[in-house]
Amino acid sequence: MKGKGEMVMEQYKQEFIEFMVDCEVLRFGDFTTKSGRKTPFFINTGFYRTGTQLRKLSGYYAQAIENKFGLDFDILFGPAYKGIPLSVATSIAISEQYKKDVMYCSNRKEQKDHGDTGILLGGPIKDGDRVIIIEDVTTAGTSIAETLPIIKGQGKVDIKGMVVSVNRMERGHGEKSALAEIEDIYGFPTTAIVTMDEVVEHLYNRPYKGKIIIDDVMKKAIDAYYEKYRAKM
């Protein structure tokens, strides 16, 4: 039970956290990141593999976008490669859930010189378009640094914001999180379907399908990790 005045987590966020567990996208244990950090949790969005999973995932993205940015935009841009299915599926979800038609767009890693030529897939980007960028999990700003010149090279556009699935809430290159750094550098807002604080809040000592996902031992390991790596928001 929540105390008086405490916020209750939105239902779609609770469902998304459990969905990540079901898909084995979110796992707890002993892992090492590419940067060499020892971490007690690991998020692998490559485990979203089926049509049913993508359909559900895109629905959560659509709710997060509507909740943070509204639906007053024209293009959903997904950077190659993982952003391609996300932009396609989420544009469908927005159409189905909110009866709003937006174009999807993604970039190719290499430009085609025959057939469907150019560097873009999906809808064209033109002057005046309002764009939301959709990513999986951002741990560094590398992808955005590569993506923005492509988007802005198409015309004078308005980047309304960026959405990812999970805000890991750990330091990027400096003391702030990767999402906060992107906001500072590029000047547009960011959001996530859930934060890791919300994940811990929902799963800590809560039985899910007959199992405690985050017990006292795991909670202590997560706390110790964030004591060392938590970003300054």
SS (H, E, C) 111-156: EECCCCCEEEEECCCCCCCEEEEECCCCCCCHHHHHHHHHHHCCCC
Residues marked active site are found at: 112, 114
The 130-134 sheet, strands edge to edge: 118-122, 103-112, 75-78, 130-134, 158-167, 190-195
Q: What is the pLDDT of residue 1?
A: 40
Q: Please name the helix (run of DSSP H) or strand (run of DSSP E) that holds residue 41, with its range, or none.
A: strand 38-43
- Of 68, 61, 129, 128, nearest in space to 91 by CA: 61
From residue 203, alpha-carbon distances to 24, 35, 194 in Å are 14, 27, 13
Q: Which residues pair with 166 in a beta bridge?
A: 194
Q: What is the pLDDT of residue 167?
A: 94
DSSP symbol at 214: B
Q: Which residues pair with 41 in a beta bridge?
A: 28
pLDDT in tens, the chain (233 residues): 444 445 689 999 999 999 999 999 999 999 998 778 899 999 999 999 999 999 999 999 999 999 999 999 999 999 988 899 999 999 999 999 999 999 999 998 766 555 455 789 999 999 999 999 999 987 566 778 888 999 999 999 999 999 999 999 988 778 999 899 999 999 999 999 999 999 999 999 999 999 999 999 999 999 999 999 999 86
Model pTM?
A: 0.92
- How far is Cα 106 from Cα 58, in angstroms, rounded to an integer? 16
Q: Please name the helix (run of DSSP H) or strand (run of DSSP E) that holds residue 199, with its range, or none.
A: helix 196-203
Q: Does the 11-229 domain belong in CATH 3.30.70.1400? A: no
- How far is Cα 213 from Cα 199, in angstroms, rounded to an integer? 11
